[in-house]
Amino acid sequence: MHTTPVAVQGTLDDLGTPLSEVTFVVLDLETTGGKPAGSNITEIGAVKVRGGVVLGEFQTLVRPGEPIPAFVSVLTGISNAMVASAPRIDRVLGSFLEFLGDAVVVAHNAPYDVGFLKAACRETGEQWPRPAVVDTAHLARQLVTADEAPNRKLGTLASLFGTTTTPDHRALHDARATVDVLHALIGRVGNLGVHSLEELQTYSKRVTPGQRRKRVLADDLPSAPGVYVFKDANGQALYVGTSVDIRKRVRSYFTESEKRARMRDMVRLAEEVTPVVCQTALEAQVRELRLIAEHKPRFNRRSRYPERAVWLKLTHEAFPRLSVVSSVRDDSPGYVGPFGSKAAAELAMTALHDVLPLRRCTKRLSRKGDSTACALFDLGKCGAPCIGQQSVDDYAAIADEARSMLTADARPVVDALLDRMNALGAQGRYEDAAAVRDRLLAFVRGAARAQRLDPLARTPEVVAARPGALGGWEVVCIRYGRFAGTTLTPRGADPMPYIAALRETAEVVAAPVAPAPAALTEETERVLHWLEQPGVRIVRTEGVWICPVNGAGGSRNRLERLMDAGSGGGARVAG
């Protein structure tokens, strides 16, 4: 591949924001109870703190839109008389949001307090700033054991950690106590290697200490698009992935955001991460596919065994027949696929047998017709060339029809099998109709795939470009369906010299046997998908790149839409 080294400098966002530099606003609300509603707030208390130093405090009573229930007054000490002359929430909220600024919100059982503040914003027309939120109750559930405390209530934690202020259900007092609880919890996670806001927000005891310690594997990775390869102690690839930001994506494997059990098992075994910086997303996707196919990492579930794909072909002999094969050779123009399994290929073969009287025996026939006919001849499903009932020329006409259906025009197969499906459905034979449907879909999918791959597999070179995200052009060179190289042209520069250099340095690719491309099938399909994106322009093409007018792609799309539409009600499938 043609690549240009990319210099990458990490940013503060990539490394995470150190907790010592984060400004927290630790808040507490008192309310009349019930569900979140802005008009039910009776008191707001908040403390702004950074690096353990208190920067300011905010406290106000709020006159609610309803009387305070007696049991709430007993709990909080806030009576209706106390709030009678207090301002309404619409006069208070703006000042509080100004105090909050761009700080991180901290609260004990944060969803409750944040829910009331959001409701207040909706009622007053204020804009909720969507700050980052840390819930000390959640952190305590991760860090405080049952042996230490019977529950995770604020009062219990305040007693455990010896806070300087005793919480008493008054907003500012509870906020001050929560500050001390926050600092105590930060001290605990710091001992576990959590030192940034991002790590604190995603901290969970589900992430084992061993998994968290391995986050250093991401420290030296580039913040750039490309591929990353997790490897074990022996250097064997465990998992291959791709991302627009390698460093950020790899770091996520060591946090609560990674919920897949198999990925946690992978991280437990990982000892190294190898990055492969790529210029474009397409290059990263291609490299990922090639690395998975080459190394077959145990934790990748797809694309590991492209060699297991099979094809359906019309054999090249006096009396051709359909055969499922593992590769494409230069011996017949009638190949379709590849199919994901032998069973799918056999379904497609049965679909064609349903329409044409092709022979199904596997023995080689002589032109003399001196064999014995099978039961298919008696059933009218074979012309019996084996006993001389068909000449080579007569049989060749049927073989030509089959070849056309495979490579050019799938409509005869589609029309015939749709008619059969509808007839079976009308007779109430729904299972038989479903079997015909499955055969038909297997056929059109395999034929469509081959007809889509074939033109690009025969094209020596395609150079295409699309506008780059930062200006300039993203240019790709494709040879016989294989990604051969890429480059990015600078903004405002003439792209043609860069294109000429790309063509000179791109991978030299030998012509394959079409319809199989000179690459993994999935790679060519990724390239085709890229070529079809809005804004992509063809710069030059060497060779002829055309697709059949009545190819199987249109029939496949139409059938899949019909199947989706009829799946709920068992409706008749129209031709």
Q: What's the CA gap between 239 and 301, in Å, rounded?
A: 9
One digit per residue, the tens of pLDDT, for the chain of length 575 reads: 444 433 333 333 344 688 999 999 999 999 998 778 767 899 999 999 999 999 999 999 999 989 998 888 888 889 999 999 999 999 999 999 999 999 999 999 999 999 999 999 999 999 999 999 999 999 998 889 888 999 999 999 999 999 999 999 999 999 999 999 999 999 988 877 778 887 787 775 555 666 667 778 888 899 888 999 999 999 999 999 999 889 888 888 877 666 677 787 888 888 999 999 998 889 999 999 999 988 999 888 876 677 778 888 888 887 888 888 888 888 777 788 888 888 988 998 899 888 888 887 766 665 555 566 565 654 566 666 666 677 778 888 888 888 888 888 888 888 888 888 888 888 888 888 888 888 888 888 888 888 888 888 889 999 999 998 888 899 999 999 999 999 999 988 899 999 999 999 999 999 988 888 888 888 999 999 999 889 999 999 987 777 776 677 777 777 776 665 454 444 444 44
DSSP calls for 392-417: HHHHHHHHHHHHHHHHT--HHHHHHH
Which residue of the set 108, 169, 183, 529 is catalytic? Answer: 169
Residues 6+ apart with CB under 8 A from 377: 383, 384, 387, 389
Cis amide bond preceding 338, omega within 30: yes
- Parallel, antiparallel or unpaired: strands 41-50 and 53-61: antiparallel
Token digits for 508?
Answer: 């030299």
Task: Report the distance separating Cα 508 and Cα 88, nearest Å.
Answer: 75
Distance CA 478, CA 456 (A): 9
Inter-residue contact 389 to 377 (CB < 8 Å): yes
DSSP letter at 108 equals T
Strand order from edge to edge, sheet including 226-231: 237-243, 226-231, 272-277
Our answer to whether residue 169 is catalytic in this structure is: yes
Q: What stretches of 371-486 show up as alpha helix (H) in DSSP? A: 375-378, 392-407, 411-426, 430-457
Whole-angstrom distance, CA of residue 528 vs CA of residue 418: 30
Q: Which residue has the tokens 């008191």?
A: 43
Q: What 3-state class would DSSP assign to 532?
A: coil
